[in-house]
Structure 1
Amino acid sequence: MSFLMVSLLRPSVPAPWRWAWQGITLHAGLWLILHAVLVLVLGRPWFAMAVGLAFLMLLVQVSNAKFHSLREPFVFQDFEYFTDAIRHPRLYIPFLGWWKFALIVVAVTAALAVGIWLEAAPAARFSLDGQLGEVGLHLLIAAGLLIISNGGPELDFDPETDPKRLGFLGGLWRYAWAEQSPLKIPNQLPDAGALAPEFPDLLVVQSESFFDPRSYFPGIRTDVLVEFDRLNAESTLHGKLQVPAWGANTVRSEFAFLSGATEAMLGVHRFNPYRQILKADVHSLAGELKAAGYRTVCIHPYAASFYGRERVYPFLGFDEFIDIRSFEGAERSGPYVSDQAVAEKVKSLMESVVGPIFIFVITMENHGPLHLEKPDAHDIDDLYSAKPPTGCDDLTVYLRHLRNADQMIGDMRAFLIQHSRHARFCWYGDHVPIMSEVYRQFGAPDGRTNYFVWDNQAEKGGEGSELKLSELAGVVLEWRSARTATK
């Protein structure tokens, strides 16, 4: 039955007899452990089997929902999001579906009640010559299966291809073990001394779900991103950006920027670099700049505990982390703190310091789920030159927030032009937004976002170049050499 459950995965995995033999033995061993533990807790073997199958079905459904929204199946590192979904339900449960989530809760509750009522626990439940002995035997067999499964196909850390060789449970197990290898990345960043002698203030904004969708649907008004266009024309460098995330998983993008590390360097840690970061040997842009004499600050208008950032950012070299607690009473746009409120916080901070300062901003305004918001009556006229087809409400909501991000760009430009110190301003999108219904009509974007690097004392070149996000911090530090290299 457990093999049958796995066959419901999307994208589908091959039949078990086409897996490496280690995948089959891993699946069998893990299923035996799950069933044995449930029997030990519940005392009812048939009920334990039903609960185990229900749990496996839950994982399959979550994986399918994740693949539908993010084009990536469930991996071991995603187990952390089960607790996050309890603490931050709005960010996760809508993608599974509130009705589907409610159905799962009702089904699990009913199964527990019926199972306990229909099947009685045996009298000799904790006897070695009874159920406890049987559970112990199953655990010994399972341990043996796991031991002989050591080795096998080398992992690609591609969550679509690895389960095709190892199965779903085998892939989860191997990713769990791979994560025990410590993360160690040689310094990928240029010497911060490259900024001398000016040591300009550095403002980097990772804008939530920012990309330029105007070529995607020609009916979008061009002036939705009028300030972005102006900064591109005035930039030292701008263009398309290859990012390691699609639709979500912001930490993959922010770590790629801060560390300069590629996915290949991260191995299994690419799925969530912050899970083991406190044991890692890594260098970050914040740490390099702090060592060079910068004050380093991160601004993120959300809970500091999300992704453990309250522990991660001091480790990466940030002197201060300004989270949602500093935005009490701030303007909101939709459910989140507005980009304009974040811009005001940045300006206040830059006006109050002597310098040099590095500010890393992670915005929230354009964070989904977009389908939980509704367009306003005037949005169609304000955002489109041609009326969009039916089913584009997510796009309309997205464009409304995108226009606010554009206003933040213009606001920061005007502020930095008048700023008393030399300053450099970098803006980029962490990933494209989730808009499943819209993509069904127009096709999904390729996942690239946009960036620019602008300097309040540099020539206005407007040069274009496609980059990987892991290269962007180096460009911020040494944009002159980057410009020379692309000519």
Structure 2
Amino acid sequence: MTGFLFAFVASFLASLVVETWPPSLASFRAPARALAFRLALHAVLFLAAFSLSWRPWHAAFVTVTVCGLFGAGSAIKRRILGEPLIFSDFALVRNAIRHPRLYYAERLAEPRALAGFAALIAATAAWFAVEPSILPSGGAILALGPAVLTALLLVALLSAPVARAAEPLVPAAPDPATEEARLGLGASMLAHWLVWRRKQRPSQQARDAILSAPAVTPARAGPPLIVAIQCESFVDLASRGLPGPALPGYRQLTERSLAWGRCEVPAEGAYTMRSEFAFLTGLPRPALGLDAYDPYLTAEAYADASLARRYAAAGRRTVFMHPYDRRFFDRDRLMPALGFERFVDREAFAGAARFGPYVADAAVAEAVAAEIKAARAPTFLFVVTMENHGPWGPGRLAGLPDPAQQYARHLENADRMIADVARALSNRPGGGLLCVYGDHAPARTLHPEMPDRRCSDYVLWDSRAASIGGGERQDTSIEALSRLLLAQS
């Protein structure tokens, strides 16, 4: 028993050191309540590992290794995306399994990674030969003891009293980076998750925001077509003083737009669903709290805020177009709940051209133009492109190995798509509104010197008023852009 307790305590102290990367003593400075939650989490991990081997030092090694991997992973994510690991990242694991390329998970199949896994297996086998099991004789009942205790600890952590005890650790406007620095990675992730599970949805602030949204004009009195395009990783590099394409199609629209400029978005380098949800609902981040970090986990609670629902109630047809797997982010279930009556997914692009690994923006432009031409009733079409999704690197585009040059080439294609869609709207009798915005900037591996990394670019254009001057740049947030579109339609 002494050896067991010593291994538990030593591993707890070591795990606090390695959950920050590079290793540090920062987690030891967390409030006592945070350390208590971190101790509970450590007990669950340690007992789970111990129940499989009945070797306390092996359990200690496994637990410290897991904490170290999370710490290193959080540091890598912070370097690439500008934020640490957060509790909602666990929900993305199934997407990484289905689509490993999008999450760089395919690198786990590379020789270096496979050699690491093989070394871990060999080390485990050697460890088992050195450290004897302390499983006492007495049958299966004793053997199940650690597993039962692990389950009881998990049940206790999921209880309402424990969630209430976690609430003082999470501010009204939570920020994972701030909480990680204050509480430590493990305690902040656990506290956020416990509070998120018990959150009231929608909050009073969200209900107030839903009620205060601009009224929607009846479809027959508004523009025949409203097209909104969420353009993957769309950023005007040249306007930021960085080497990049001229984007003539986008610039021509800004010169005759209702509004244009920088668009503040809730993430950089990833998390498309944050920008998508923010635009589709117009709900400010403070109204969502922790739900803002993966809003599609709880989207149905906010469905009344959806643009698609509002437009459908006003008499418009509603179409969601995305040339990828409709199950991604559970869109197959959530888009109908948010008010879209039709979902055009990758099956409709089965024979479409690709540029790089994904469906080309040129093919998306053709599909949008076809929808515009075929529409027989007022329609809201929301499009999410895919061509410029990462990762960028050697092998993506033939003859173009440099990631920055690849990204620029995709921007040129996106610009042509924007011009083609604008042309299709101009040729359509009655015309319509076009809103284009980028979901986020690219990851920090591209143009790390880029300013305004939490901003993309947008333009709101009306083909029926093409003589209007674009005027000065009007920077806004993605939520405000959503409401501006409502007000114009």
Q: Which amino acid aligns with 1:192?
A: V
Shift in CA distance, 414/313, structure 1 to aligned 2, threshold 3 Å: same
Does the Cα contact within 8 Å between 1:32 and 1:142 map onto a contact in 2?
A: no
Which structure 2 residues correspond to residues 441-452 of structure 1 after superposition, within 5 A? Answer: 442-443=449-450, 445-452=452-459
The yes-or-no answer on 1:193 pairing with 2:217 is yes
Q: Which amino acid aligns with 2:39?
A: A
Which structure 2 residues correspond to residues 38-187 of structure 1 after superposition, within 5 A? Answer: 38-93=49-104, 101-102=113-114, 104-122=116-134, 124=136, 130=142, 132-133=144-145, 150-155=166-171, 156-180=173-197, 181-184=199-202, 185-186=206-207, 187=210
Aligned residue for 2:464, secondary structure, equals: coil
Q: Give how far 1:27 is off.
A: 1.0
Q: 2-side partners of 1:289 and 1:397: how far apart?
A: 37
Shift in CA distance, 60/324, structure 1 to aligned 2, threshold 3 Å: same
Aligned residue for 1:160, secondary structure, equals: helix
Greater shift, 305-314 or 176-185, is seen at 176-185
Q: Which amino acid aligns with 2:310?
A: E
Q: Give how far 1:178 is off.
A: 1.9
Does the Cα contact within 8 Å between 2:356 and 2:397 map onto a contact in 1?
A: no
Q: 1-side partners of 2:48 and 2:111: how far apart?
A: 30
Q: 2-side partners of 1:244 and 1:319: how far apart?
A: 27
Aligned residue for 2:295, secondary structure, equals: coil
Q: 1-side partners of 2:12 and 2:115: how far apart?
A: 21
Does the Cα contact within 8 Å between 2:232 and 2:440 map onto a contact in 1?
A: yes
Does the Cα contact within 8 Å between 2:263 and 2:455 map onto a contact in 1?
A: yes
Q: 1-side partners of 2:219 and 2:455: how far apart?
A: 28
In the other structure, the counterpart of 1:475 is: 484
Greater shift, 244-253 or 143-152, is seen at 143-152
Q: Which amino acid aligns with 2:176?
A: P
Summarize deviations over 1:217-258 as a string: whole Å, max 9, x none. Answer: 555453xx0111101111111111111111110000010101
TM superposition score normalised by structure 1: 0.86
Q: Give how far 1:400 is off.
A: 0.3
TM superposition score normalised by structure 2: 0.86
Does the Cα contact within 8 Å between 1:33 and 1:138 map onto a contact in 2?
A: yes
Shift in CA distance, 455/141, structure 1 to aligned 2, threshold 3 Å: closer
Aligned residue for 2:229, secondary structure, equals: strand
Q: Give how far 1:144 is off.
A: 7.8
Q: 2-side partners of 1:125 and 1:322: how far apart?
A: 62
Q: 1-side partners of 2:330 and 2:138: how far apart?
A: 40
Which structure 2 residues correspond to residues 235-274 of structure 1 after superposition, within 5 A? Answer: 235-274=257-296
Q: Give how far 1:10 is off.
A: 4.5
Greater shift, 43-52 or 241-250, is seen at 43-52
Q: 2-side partners of 1:473 and 1:141: how far apart?
A: 44
Output the aligned Cα RMSD: 2.9
Q: 2-side partners of 1:332 and 1:125: how far apart?
A: 63
The answer for unaligned runs of 5 or more in structure 2 is 1-10
Q: 1-side partners of 2:269 and 2:219: how far apart?
A: 34
Does the Cα contact within 8 Å between 2:257 and 2:468 map onto a contact in 1?
A: yes
Instruction: Give the fraction of aligned pairs with identical amino acids, expressed as a percent.
Output: 32
Would you say how many aligned residue pairs link Structure 1 and Structure 2? 463
The answer for unaligned runs of 5 or more in structure 1 is 380-391, 481-487
Greater shift, 257-266 or 456-465, is seen at 456-465
In the other structure, the counterpart of 1:229 is: 251
Does the Cα contact within 8 Å between 1:189 and 1:473 map onto a contact in 2?
A: no
Does the Cα contact within 8 Å between 1:209 and 1:433 map onto a contact in 2?
A: yes
The yes-or-no answer on 1:7 pairing with 2:23 is no
Does the Cα contact within 8 Å between 1:237 and 1:461 map onto a contact in 2?
A: no
Summarize deviations over 1:128-151 as a string: whole Å, max 9, x none. Answer: 985555666687789889967545
Q: Which amino acid aligns with 1:105?
A: F
Q: Give how far 1:80 is off.
A: 1.6
